[in-house]
């Protein structure tokens, strides 16, 4: 059952706060990575290179948790099902995220030929 994000915590998604994405490894252990994220009004969205373990985990095991914290006492954990992992629009989304987190208009791939999902 979806629980609405409280207005009091919305800034955790709208401000450039680094999130922590937890996914499930093939052997069942958790994997946690710092990520950029945003919120489209319905879904929390993250973006990753398609050859990363976190991407494979989301494709193969469809569950993830996102933790956002601003200081030690103000935080929000969002647990849910991965709805979609797609390359369609991923680089455009990454440019939006670069603006939010760095103030730059475009994301510059860290590796030549990098593909995003």
pLDDT, one tens digit per residue, over 89-98 is 888 998 999 9
Task: Note the pTM of the prediction, 2 decimals.
Answer: 0.90
Residue 116: inside a domain: no
Residue 73: inside a domain: yes
Quick one: tokens of 96? 């939006």
pLDDT at 116 over 80: no
**Which CATH number characterizes residue 54's domain?**
2.30.110.10
Domain count, the chain: 1
Q: Which residue has the tokens 């709805």?
A: 83
pLDDT of 87 reads 85
| Domain extent at residue 35 | 7-102
- Please tell me which residue, 82 or 2, carries the higher pLDDT value: 82
DSSP string, 57-96: HHHHH-EEEEEEESSSS-EEEEEEE-----STTHHHHHHH
pLDDT at 113 over 90: no
Top-ranked range on mean pLDDT: pick from 19-23, 50-54, 100-104: 19-23
Query: What digits encode the pLDDT tens for the residues 33-77?
Result: 999 999 999 999 998 888 899 999 999 999 999 999 999 999 999
């Amino acid at each position: 059952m979806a629980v609405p994000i409280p207005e009091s915590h919305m800034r955790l998604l709208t401000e450039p706060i680094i999130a922590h994405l937890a996914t499930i490894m093939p052997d069942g252990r958790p994997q946690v990575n710092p990520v950029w994220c945003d919120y489209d009004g319905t879904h929390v969205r993250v973006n990753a290179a398609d050859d990363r373990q976190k991407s494979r985990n989301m494709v193969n095991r469809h569950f993830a948790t996102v933790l956002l914290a601003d200081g030690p006492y103000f935080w929000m954990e969002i647990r849910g099902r991965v709805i979609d992992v797609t390359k369609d629009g991923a680089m455009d989304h990454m440019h939006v995220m670069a603006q939010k987190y760095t103030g730059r208009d475009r994301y510059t791939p860290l590796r030549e030929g990098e593909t995003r999902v």
